[in-house]
Amino acid sequence: MSHPNFVLLYVKNPTDSAAFYAALLGAPVIEASPTFAMLKLDSGVMLGLWASSGVEPAATAPGGCELAIAVANDEAVQAHLEAWQLAGARLLQPPTLMDFGYTFTVADPDGHRLRVFAPRRA
């Protein structure tokens, strides 16, 4: 059975978004053009950044998506927050304890949400 191995986000400016995600995730940009950029994540998943103006069929909006990253512990959550804020991520939710674990949420330049969390073990 096949499983998804690409995530595509519709963005206003693929070049700017690629620079943002490369700095945030430490992932290399492996393809870049004025309308599309792709990064290869350590997990093997490819992150595509597609200019929303050229998506066929037309996309309804940039934003409205959330990427989540599980980390080992609360200290790793805090370390990610500090690094990501230095990289220019806009804080949407400060670090907080929720039912699934300790988490924070930031936004990329197009409003896509990125969540880092340390899962609570039962």
Tell me the pLDDT tens digit for each residue of 66-109.
Answer: 888 999 999 999 999 999 999 889 999 999 999 899 999 998 88
- 3-state SS, the chain, equals CCCCCEEEEEECCHHHHHHHHHHHHCCCEEEECCCEEEEECCCCCEEEEEEHHHCCCCCCCCCCCEEEEECCCHHHHHHHHHHHHHCCCEEEEEEEEECCEEEEEEECCCCCEEEEEEECCC
Token pair, residue 26, equals 């430490």
Task: Judge residue 9's burial from the number of C-beta atoms within 10 Å of its C-beta, 0-12 exposed, 13-18 middle, 19 or more buried.
Answer: buried
Domain 6-53 bears CATH identifier 1.10.3210.10:
no
Residue 110, beta-bridge partner list: none
* Fold match, 6-53 / 66-119: yes
CATH architecture of the domain covering 66-119 = 2-Layer Sandwich (3.30)
Residue 47 has pLDDT above 90, yes or no: yes
Domain residue limits, the chain: 6-53, 66-119
Q: Are 102 and 96 in contact (CB under 8 A)?
A: yes
pLDDT at position 1: 64
